[in-house]
Amino acid sequence: MSLSYKESGVDIDAGARLVEEIKPFVTATFNENVLGNIGGFAGGFALPKGYSEPVLFGATDGVGTKLKLAIEAKKFDTVGIDLVAMCVNDLICSFAEPLFFLDYYATAKLEVDEAKEVIKGIAKGCQEAECALIGGETAEMPGMYREGDFDLAGFAVGIAERGDLEARPPLKAGDILIALPSSGIHSNGYSLVRKLFFERLGMKLDDTFEGKPLYEVLLEPTRIYVKDFKKLRPHIKALAHITGGGIVENLPRILPEGLEAKIEKKKIKTLPIFDFIAKYVEEDEMYKTFNMGIGLILVVDPKEVDAVLSQSDGYIIGELAQGSKGVQLL
């Protein structure tokens, strides 16, 4: 008796159908530099003109256990935005403008409607990040994942001018730290979030929190800061994406030896979700796990502060000073 691939758990026809259904919103992310269409063996992208010595940067990331919440809530339209955000927000910290994005979607059994919503979110994130979604891969792997589960990985490539990078002014004591607010928890700390809300406190996804269903608050997509970066780039010296590890782990990644960041905790505009979690989690743990309401920290020369504040929703949280490389929360 013959056996088919579909009988072993892999439906090639479903994959082909998904490619056809996602074409409209994927191609909506294309620009004049995209070569070819989706469905090929690789995505092509011509380097933009106007660079004398272009440098490419690459970033990759995932969404982590925030996906578990999306699966449990059956809300699939936002985690794709998270995926793009986690990659492109890293790129801009190297002063690279995102060019294009690719995704990897792996699951036990391909549910076309669910996957379509996820990829629609990825396309939406790419449009917000002003980059093209030029390709991806859908892998159906029964036995590798539990039924109903899926995982995501994202890959972004950006571009910068080598001369601009080499001409960037050094950081110095007295530079001002400006926070750009986060939209919520973003995409880090969700193992702790899930354990607290659903195991320790026994809450339900549709419980009300600050006038909204809890799942909507927890699945609020990660803010994408690409447009902010492009607007503020002439006025900033450095920037740090506040992800896993929080402020205390991420901000030192851009500091030279001999400089420390002094941040006044009372100036941080925390969000209600963090204020609630802080009732059950120690302060040190909060600051090394969550963004605490800050998605991006900019380092700005004092004379550029007014320009940054007038063109953004940022606010001052501290400054750089002589000292051991690291962060002091005062």
What mean pLDDT do residues 4-21 have? 71
Query: Cβ–Cβ contacts within 10 Å for residue 106, how many?
Result: 17
How far are the Cα atoms of 47, 89, 97, 186, 195 from residue 50, in angstroms, in the given order? Answer: 9, 23, 14, 34, 50
Q: Is 88 helix (H, G, I), strand (E, B) or coil?
A: helix
Question: Is residue 5 predicted with pLDDT exceeding 90?
Answer: no
- How far is 309 from 317, CA to CA, in rounded Å? 12
10 Å CB burial of residue 319 (0-12, 13-18, 19+) is middle
* Residue of 315, 9, 19 whose CA lies nearest to 180: 315
Predicted confidence at residue 10, as pLDDT, reads: 65
How far are the Cα atoms of 24, 60, 135, 160, 162 from residue 37, in angstroms, in the given order? Answer: 11, 23, 9, 25, 30
Structure tokens, 87? 């990659």
Question: Is residue 322 predicted with pLDDT exceeding 60?
Answer: yes
pLDDT digits 0-9 by tens, 145-183: 888 889 999 999 999 999 999 999 999 999 999 999 999
Question: Is residue 8 predicted with pLDDT exceeding 80?
Answer: no
What mean pLDDT do residues 104-113 have? 90
Full-prediction pTM beyond 0.85?
A: yes
Average pLDDT, the chain: 93
Question: Is residue 110 predicted with pLDDT exceeding 90?
Answer: no
Structure tokens, 308? 């940054």
pLDDT digits 0-9 by tens, 33-69: 999 777 778 889 999 999 999 999 999 999 999 999 9
Per-residue burial over 199-229, b if 16 or more Cβ lie within 10 Å, else e, is eeeeeebeeebeeebbbbbbbbbbbbbbebb
The C-alpha angle 96, 100, 105, rounded to 5 degrees, equals 125
- How far is 214 from 200, CA to CA, in rounded Å? 15
Angle between helices 112-129 and 79-91 (to 10 degrees): 30
- How far is 150 from 115, CA to CA, in rounded Å? 9
Q: Do residues 60 and 87 touch, judged by C-beta distance below 8 A?
A: yes
Q: Do residues 158 and 59 touch, judged by C-beta distance below 8 A?
A: yes
What mean pLDDT do residues 200-224 have? 96
Query: Cβ–Cβ contacts within 10 Å for residue 262, how many?
Result: 16
Give the contacts of 20 (CB within 8 A, at least 6 positions apart): none
Q: Do residues 205 and 215 touch, judged by C-beta distance below 8 A?
A: yes
Q: Are strands 315-322 and 176-181 parallel, antiparallel or unpaired?
A: antiparallel
Over its C-alpha atoms, the chain yields an Rg (Å, rounded) of 21
